[in-house]
Amino acid sequence: MEDLHKILNESQYEAVTTLQGPILVIAGAGSGKTRVIEYRSLNLITKGIHPSSILLLTFTRRASQEMITRASRHDPRCKDIDGGTFHSFAYRMLKRYSKAIGFKQDLIVLDESDSKEAIHRCANALNLYNKDKRFPKKDTLKTIISMSINKSSPISEIIKREYPHFTEYIEDIKRLAVAYGEYKIKRAYIDYDDMLIYLKAMLEDQGLRQAITRPYKYVMIDEYQDTNALQGAISILLAGKTGNIMVVGDDAQSIYGFRGANHKNIMDFPSFFENCKIIRLELNYRSYQRILDCANALLNTMDNKYQKCLHSVKDNIGVRPNLYFFKNTYEEAEWIADFIKDSLADGVPLHHHAVLCRSMYLTIPLQAELSKRNIPYETYGGIKFYETAHVKDILSYLKIKVNIHDEIAWHRILMLLEGIGTKTVERLTTYISEQSSIDNVIKVLASHSKNSKKAHSLNSLIKVLENAFQINKNDVGAIFDIFFEYYKPLMKNKYDDWHIRINDLETLRQVASRYKDLEDMLADFAIEPPERSVYAQEPETKDEDRPLCISTIHSSKGLEWDTVIIMGVIDGIIPISFCLDNEEEIEEEKRLLYVAITRAKKRLSLTLHHEGKRGGIMQFNKLSRFLTPPAVHSSLDVSLSNKEYDNKTFSQTQIPTCSSDLLKKIFEYYRN
């Protein structure tokens, strides 16, 4: 193995070579935490630890694969490390021990939209939509139930805090949550949140805990600051008797409280173990020191933190971040667009820039200004591949191959058929759910195909079901092809842009052909689906033509750019106005600004505008309270816009008269 002293700095070396006992690694932004996990994995294996006895949990499969791949370049044995996300690990354990838990049939994983549909069905069964006043919609109900689980908080508290206008329905929603749970158990459904609930319950059972933890001598967990209460408890239970667990994270980058992430997990971790070692990574490999000076100043104002100070390894200290004030949001947008244009003219590629914001609506004027200048940009995120309607359609066919009692999948499939209405679909779905085999299901469909309007649609469906159910479910590619050929004409009839959408299904076909178990494929897509769709994307561009990135700060975490502009650093935007009565949420907003600052490598600018409207009322904005402490403010180079203000408003400008009947001409144009 390579000489670790030459590869790692002192703190990294300590984290990599400390192999016994509990360890908390506080990894400052840009401090090389991935390298720590990479070389610690390698070090464990070279010390004789079998790779399958090492468990690596991360928040994305991509992160896990990246770390294992990097370690495998040094030693091929590293590829056998057991890595994955909390949810994928939970699913594997559920699949392995489902019979021990009490399930008699294979589990089906509900994705987000299927979960909402199931909740809607339960609400209808309880007659909750027959209220005189408006009952919450299924999206809101799913959010309330999920937040209650992820924050380990009673439903009543979630509603009072987040949805006070629905307090009269607290008892109804509590009943609904129980009904939803029973609905899932009866049908062997599990949703995203259930995976963690079941895993924690299994680990709390002594027999199952021994079976689950026995293979693992070492546990490593990345991004520990983003764990929720359930994941925190699971981490402690996984440590087992050996206590050989290393968690890596940065308390100053805990920004996902709205998803249930609990900042206390990383702060309280040492209290669960005797002699827990805390190692701080403070050498920064990303940013110039002037940018880190600003970040450190902000860090020092935080409450309840691990003390650290980031130091750049770069010789160039750079320039102080700029703080620009503008009259209004339009002038702010114009300046940013001109800055990007000038930077591009100086030879800096667009994709080396990013504009970050607290909320995407702030960028609407900027997007208009960029379009005027023909500057291509991309808002970070996009349509989720798995949530596009055409992908969900085709996957519904695959789901019934795994479980013929999947009511949600049947409902979607039947709704695609021509000549069949909603009432017939509901009736057929009920009949199908009562059948014990696919042969009986086909008989039900055949009995309804005597109606001439339905005959062709149902007979075609019956034929494809007969063909698909003759194939072993492990031949995923063949099953997919059968349903894909059947679905093509339905898709062409349903979508005007089917020729674009079909690219997604061709991609999905390639993915499916690599699986040897249909159940595993469906679970993978529900747990961590591909992020982007071919549909609604531009063709692949050359690296030098990649567009400017416009992103929310939350979506930018883990990324970096040479030049970063943080727009809208206004009190009431960051921190966001609705959190101002909660000190913990204000602290999280401060950490959010810290994350934004530490995305910049070479140049950082922050902008705000004075004039704004909120609720239709003109107001004057104040600089974010996070930037006003003397140490923070002095780390910035403060500038006013050098653009002269034109005090004339549009209402004061004379509107020209039109000498002809313009509307009549346009009308004639359309007629011709």
CATH class of residue range 295-383+541-640:
alpha beta
Question: What topology does CATH give the domain 386-521?
Answer: PCRA; domain 4 (1.10.486)
Share of the chain above pLDDT 70, in %: 89
Name the pLDDT band for 339 (thresholds 50, 70, 90). very high
pLDDT at 525: 76
* 139 vs 119: CA distance, rounded Å: 9
Instruction: For residue 95, count CB atoms less than 10 angstroms from its CB and return exposed for 0-12, middle for 13-18, buried for 19 or more.
Output: middle
pLDDT at 535: 42
pTM for this entry: 0.79
Name the pLDDT band for 297 (thresholds 50, 70, 90). very high
Over the stretch 340-372, which tens digit does the pLDDT of each residue have?
A: 999 999 999 999 999 999 988 788 789 888 988
Q: For the chain, what are the domain ranges?
A: 4-94+195-281, 108-187, 295-383+541-640, 386-521
pLDDT at 504: 76
Name the pLDDT band for 264 (thresholds 50, 70, 90). very high
Name the pLDDT band for 378 (thresholds 50, 70, 90). confident
Q: What are phi and psi of 527, to 5 degrees?
A: -75, -50
pLDDT at 111: 87
pLDDT at 28: 95
Over the stretch 172-228, which tens digit does the pLDDT of each residue have?
A: 999 999 999 999 999 989 999 999 999 999 999 999 999 999 999 999 999 999 999
Mean pLDDT of the chain: 87
- Beta-carbon-side half-sphere exposure of residue 658 (alpha carbons within 13 Å): 6
pLDDT at 51: 94
pLDDT at 365: 85
pLDDT at 642: 47
pLDDT at 1: 63
Q: How large is the average pLDDT for residues 263-268? A: 95
Paired sense of beta strands 617-620 and 611-614, if any: antiparallel
pLDDT at 650: 31
Over the stretch 467-490, which tens digit does the pLDDT of each residue have?
A: 999 999 889 999 999 999 999 999
> Which of 56-65, 453-462, 518-527, 626-635 has the highest average model confidence (pLDDT)?
626-635
More confident site: 306 or 508: 306
Over the stretch 597-647, which tens digit does the pLDDT of each residue have?
A: 999 999 999 999 988 765 456 778 899 999 999 999 999 998 765 444 333
Name the pLDDT band for 579 (thresholds 50, 70, 90). confident
pLDDT at 665: 59
pLDDT at 172: 94
pLDDT at 382: 39
4-94+195-281 and 295-383+541-640 share one CATH topology? yes
My answer on whether omega of the bond before 215 falls inside 30° of 0, hence cis, is no
pLDDT at 170: 95
SS3 at position 249:
strand
Question: What topology does CATH give the domain 4-94+195-281?
Answer: Rossmann fold (3.40.50)
Contacts of 379 by beta carbon, 8 Å cutoff, 6+ apart: 360, 363, 367, 550, 551
Name the pLDDT band for 529 (thresholds 50, 70, 90). low
pLDDT at 666: 52
Q: What are phi and psi of 284, to 5 degrees?
A: -105, 130
Share of the chain above pLDDT 90, in %: 60
pLDDT at 655: 41
Kindly report the number of other CB atoms within 10 A of residue 350's CB atom.
Answer: 21
Which single residue is written with the structure tokens 């008989």? Answer: 443
Reported as type and span, the H/E element at residue 550 is strand 548-552
pLDDT at 530: 54
pLDDT at 246: 97
| Beta carbons of 184 and 190 less than 8 angstroms apart | yes
* 187 vs 179: CA distance, rounded Å: 12
SS3 at position 361:
helix
Lowest-confidence segment of 55-64, 440-449, 634-643 by average pLDDT: 634-643
User: Tokens for 504?
Assistant: 């997604």
pLDDT at 131: 60
Q: Does the pLDDT value for residue 514 go beyond 70?
A: yes
Over the stretch 489-508, which tens digit does the pLDDT of each residue have?
A: 998 888 766 776 787 788 78
SS3 at position 58:
strand
pLDDT at 654: 42
Q: How large is the average pLDDT for residues 557-568? A: 94
More confident site: 421 or 320: 320
SS3 at position 557:
coil
More confident site: 358 or 380: 358
